[in-house]
Structure 1
Amino acid sequence: MLDPVAVLLHALVVLVHSTLFMFLTAKFTKWSAGWNMGLVVSVLEEDAEDGQGIYGSDALSLSAWYRKGLEKRDVWMMLMFLVFALAMRMPCLYSKCSESWSGNGVLYTGLYVGLICVGNVLKWVACVVCYHTMIVRLGF
């Protein structure tokens, strides 16, 4: 027979962990949208005063200003890329690709890293498209 106190304690632990996981995932996707849009701003923007680019905290604050009012769209986009990244990693994590007993560890690791790079390029292309839609929306 199951001990009701142990079941209740286990349910409470699962509830706390799942709430914390959802909160941290939401924060990560929001920050990831800011970082990736900051990267796009630092590549595509040019400072009018000295002709140099915009970097670091200036790029992050400018991207935050551009994204104002579009946070929900950016969070959903980054959440989609997070799920895509996890889905691309799962087969390799599940089959333990990098273990040397398979004999193809280097091949699998190269494929794994290649999928990560393709995912990052797709994410940055999507951020560039969002950047251009924001510029058009703001009338620049």
Structure 2
Amino acid sequence: MYTPDRDAAMAFYTPLFGWRAVDLGQGAGTMLQVPGYGDHLAATVDPGFHERQAAAPPGFADAIGGLVVIGAGEPPRWHVTFTVADRDESAATAERLGATVVARPDTTWTRDALVRDPQGAEFTVSQFTPPEW
């Protein structure tokens, strides 16, 4: 979520969805969490979820999104990120289907691709790649 007013956004979404906002510090933005989400995934569809998340920041298993504060004049908006098993394979499939890969940034925790679909909508595909510690 991109918003000029973090507090107003959370005043709306916290009672609506039960989200919790956790500041990541060092200008890294805000993690949006659903308490217990990681436990739900581990108990239902992904038994190895917590083991793969062991090196992630505290609370990352419960993360469902992020909040970025934007400047005046920039429109508030949502940007959807889809978790994928393989960023490059997903990007190649999107291109084969008519999309344009705009960027392929790597972060400490992910390999991402910003994709623009044939109609012009943008989204990100993200492969979780935690550091080896």
Report which of the two has the higher share of helix: 1
Q: Normalization by structure 2: what TM-score? A: 0.28
Larger of the two Rg values belongs to structure:
1
* TM-score normalised to structure 1 length: 0.27
The structure with more strand, counted as a fraction of residues = 2
